[in-house]
């Protein structure tokens, strides 16, 4: 009931933090910024910043992304709330509640510092360790969430350009899940799932490859995949 009626309310600083993913050279990359100020000056961190009084967390997330990394007017950006981190002590200086977002980008435009960030850089996911604040945790949570949502949503297309080949889409799954998938089976499954992708008639990707050019597809309209595309179980999983 937003019950501020009787008790005095304590003011909090509210920030947004972004875990922005893309796929580069077959590896999952995360956008990081180097902190220019204490605390954690010189450490890498997730981009983010303060919520302004007139904007929602979603708007703040897009704004900060542009300010700190130069990624502006990112049309293909998929942005979704992850969760909110509110443990006392997560910031050494004051009480900060942070709304975390996970974001996906198709291609990887170069990033540069700005705002509070000394510099910004795409970093391989596995190399993004020992970040400032509790950002290691946020980043791991974001990756888990993305991996899980690939199973039952068409989210993977958010990593792809507007038109993409099935091979590129498969690469997304293999990269995020860290597995390999059988190509014919992947193809059959994707095409059999209504609303996942739709063919672009008569188009083929001509990008310098040596073999037969692949047909192009666009993201479909379905939000959820029925049936889902289940992740292969790691060895020895079954109870």
Partner DNA sequence: CCTTTAATAGTCGCACTGACTATTAAAGGG
Partner DNA sequence: CCCTTTAATAGTCAGTGCGACTATTAAAGG
Residues that bind its own copies (CB under 8 A): 1-7, 9-15, 17, 33, 35-38, 45-58, 64, 68, 81, 83-84, 86-88, 91, 94-99, 115-117, 132-133, 135, 151-152, 194-195, 222, 226-228, 230, 233, 237-239
- 233's CB contacts (< 8 A; 6+ apart) are none
* Residue (96 or 216) nearer to its own copies, CB: 96
169 SS3 class: helix
Binds 117: which of DNA, its own copies, none (CB < 5-8 Å by kind): its own copies
According to CB under 7 A, which one of 1, 8, 94, 206 is a site residue for DNA?
Answer: 206
Q: Which residues of 4-37 are buried (b: 16+ CB within 10 A; e: fewer)?
A: eeeeeeeeeebbbbbbbbbbeeeebbbbbbbbee
Segment contacting DNA by CB under 7 A, of 10-18, 102-110, 147-155, 185-193: 185-193
Binds 237: which of its own copies, DNA, none (CB < 5-8 Å by kind): its own copies
In sequence order, what are the beta bridge partners of 142? none
d(CA 81, CA 232): 26
Matching residue, tokens 């972004």? 18
Phi and psi torsions of 102, nearest 5°: -110, 135
* Residue (12 or 72) nearer to its own copies, CB: 12
d(CA 72, CA 234): 39
**Shortest CB 101 distance to its own copies, Å:** 10
User: Which residues lie near DNA (CB under 7 A)?
Assistant: 165-167, 182-185, 187-189, 192, 206, 208-215, 227, 229-230, 232
């Amino acid at each position: 009931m937003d019950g501020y009626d009787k008790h005095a309310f304590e003011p909090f600083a509210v920030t947004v933090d972004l875990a922005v993913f893309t796929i580069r050279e077959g590896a999952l990359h995360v956008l990081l910024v180097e902190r220019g100020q204490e605390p954690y000056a010189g450490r890498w961190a997730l981009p983010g910043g303060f919520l302004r009084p007139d904007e929602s967390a979603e708007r703040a997330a897009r704004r900060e992304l542009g300010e700190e990394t130069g990624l502006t007017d990112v049309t293909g950006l998929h942005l979704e709330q992850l969760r909110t981190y509110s443990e006392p002590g997560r910031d050494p200086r004051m009480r900060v509640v942070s709304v975390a977002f996970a974001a996906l980008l198709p291609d990887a435009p170069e990033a540069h510092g700005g705002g509070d960030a000394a510099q910004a850089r795409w970093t391989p996911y596995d190399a993004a360790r020992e970040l400032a604040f509790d950002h290691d945790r946020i980043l791991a949570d974001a990756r888990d969430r993305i991996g899980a949502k690939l199973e039952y949503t068409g989210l993977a297309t958010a990593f792809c350009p507007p038109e993409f080949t099935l091979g590129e889409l498969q690469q997304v799954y293999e990269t995020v899940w860290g597995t390999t998938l059988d190509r014919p089976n992947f193809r059959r499954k994707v095409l059999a799932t209504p609303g996942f992708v739709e063919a672009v008639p008569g188009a083929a990707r001509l990008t310098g490859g040596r073999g037969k050019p692949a047909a192009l597809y666009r993201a479909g309209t379905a939000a959820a995949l029925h049936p889902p595309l289940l992740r292969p179980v790691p060895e020895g999983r079954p109870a």
